[in-house]
Chain A
Amino acid sequence: MISLRKLPWFWIVVGAVASVFVVGVLAGKITWFSEERPVEFLDNMDHQFKAIPQSANTFFTDRKSVREPVEGTVARGQDVYPLGPGDIDAAEGLNRNPGVPKTEFVLARGQNRFNVFCSPCHNYDAHGESRVAVRGQWAGIPDLTRDETKALSNARIYHIISAGQNLMPSYADKISTTDRWAIIYYLRSLQGVEGTESTTPTATADAAAPTN
């Protein structure tokens, strides 16, 4: 006859908890966090010797699977913005809307892109007091709904998005040319103004044509 008092109750409780944990982990109900690479019992051609984007590849001496394209290469459907931040006059002559219409869809797309790329600093309502600016105690992020910005032409705003200005870097690598015009439409709707195309109205047809 086993005496209840002599049973190792402590270890029984510990064992029960451990069993629940092990069964829970094995059943996938409890997540076991680990810094170690997952165990692979059989490598069923999971890892092939091929170039996977942004992965290391020993075939190349610099181990970059993403190769540098030939200098001057332009991806299909994209163009390189030729101007620097200071070329304001050239921008007024160069940047023309390639025919993106102001539809509900384009406005929604502009809102989407604005919220993704502009709102971290300029805020969703374009007033400038964004959560990043507040937390980082950033002064000098302009209110895009003030009169000076309203007076800027579309060509100039396109130039600022593409080439950057002051502390703002260029977003040409992140926002496609068409999306930039959609953002301008949406920004104009936030400002409540129509906006002017450009301060130099006599742009040639060549300059206005999209380069893609």
Chain B
Amino acid sequence: MFSRRFDMGVKVGGAVIGTVAAAVFLVVYFGVRNDVADVGYRPQQPVPFSHKLHAGDLQIHCQYCHAGVEVSAHSPVPSTQTCMNCHTLVKSESPKLKLVRESYETGSPIEWVRIHKVPDYAHFNHSRHIRAQIDCKSCHGPIEEMGVVSQYKSLTMGWCLDCHRNPETRIVGARPISGIFTGVLHDPKTFMSDSAAVFRPIAAQVGESRSLTVPAYGGWETDLPKHHVDGIPHPKKASLGPDNCSTCHY
């Protein structure tokens, strides 16, 4: 019915259109996945703050600026006062710190660009994870090597569940922990001995119930995970595990 030439055109055209459509579909389908699109998100911040300098070279601990992360759901972005603790003296005239000085004088916050974000219907609690002995680097990566911070993990639900289904492979005892509990960043010698010092009494306190309770220490010791496996505090409860929906969606 049709000419041979037309027939060939349909075949070749179909093949080309099909190939292009498949390629576009693959790029779009995989390209918008969080593990592709979100990882590596590295926005320019209003102040060129370098974690590599502060946390890496100067070994200032995460909690010096993000103070309260171990008792709060939200990991606080430091107040300008925290910057000015040092920068009233150090580099006090630096043009890079102009916004910091302005913020300090006017009281209006610096508008940092948020990088890590879970959807608003999922609740991530920093303090809960630190109590379960998950360190900062597990999710944020080698921050102390990042001049400009980028997202390191996808923060998808599948990624969360990788841990939540098998938390015993991630908590301390199964692997060496970082310095968030010890205050020393990455000096392997001191942080291993320090972590032993910090965790021996906690483990003992969990095992022997209340022998080491400090009443004035409101909540710090009493909010420990009670359930433990092989002497290690374990977040998984028999009835309502960390892989239950309502653990994060509430």
Contact = CB atoms under 8 A, between A and B. Distances in A.
Interface of A: 22, 25-28, 31-41, 44-48, 50, 52-56, 64, 77, 98-101, 103-106, 108-109, 111-117, 119-120, 124, 131-132, 135-136, 138, 167, 169, 173-174, 178, 181, 210, 212
A150 to B, nearest CB: 23
A53 B60 contact: no
Nearest to B78: A174
A108 B220 CA distance: 13
B9 interface: no
B39 A31 contact: yes
A108 B64 contact: no
B198 interface: yes
Contacts of A112: 181-183, 194, 198
Nearest to B26: A26
Interface bin, chain B? 35 or more
Interface of B: 26-28, 30-44, 57-61, 63-64, 67-68, 74, 76-77, 79, 81-82, 84-86, 89-90, 109, 111, 114, 119-121, 150, 154, 181-184, 190, 194, 197-198, 200-202, 205, 212, 214-221
B183 A26 contact: no
A178 B120 contact: no
Contacts of A26: 26-27, 30-31, 36
Given A48-B120, A105-B202, A173-B81, A38 B41 contact: yes
A115 B182 contact: yes
Interface of B, secondary structure class, is loop
B81 A99 contact: no
Nearest to B219: A77
B189 to A, nearest CB: 12
A120 B64 contact: yes
B58 A108 contact: no
B41 A37 contact: yes
Interface of A, secondary structure class, is loop
Nearest to B79: A173
B76 A114 contact: no
A45 B183 contact: no
A54 B35 CA distance: 25
Contacts of A131: 57-59
Contacts of A34: 40-42
B32 A39 contact: yes
Contacts of A33: 40, 42, 150
B216 A35 contact: no
B37 A178 contact: no
Contact of B217 (A44, A46, A116, A178): A178
A103 B214 CA distance: 9
A175 B93 CA distance: 29
A53 B74 contact: yes
Nearest to A171: B85
A138 B86 CA distance: 11
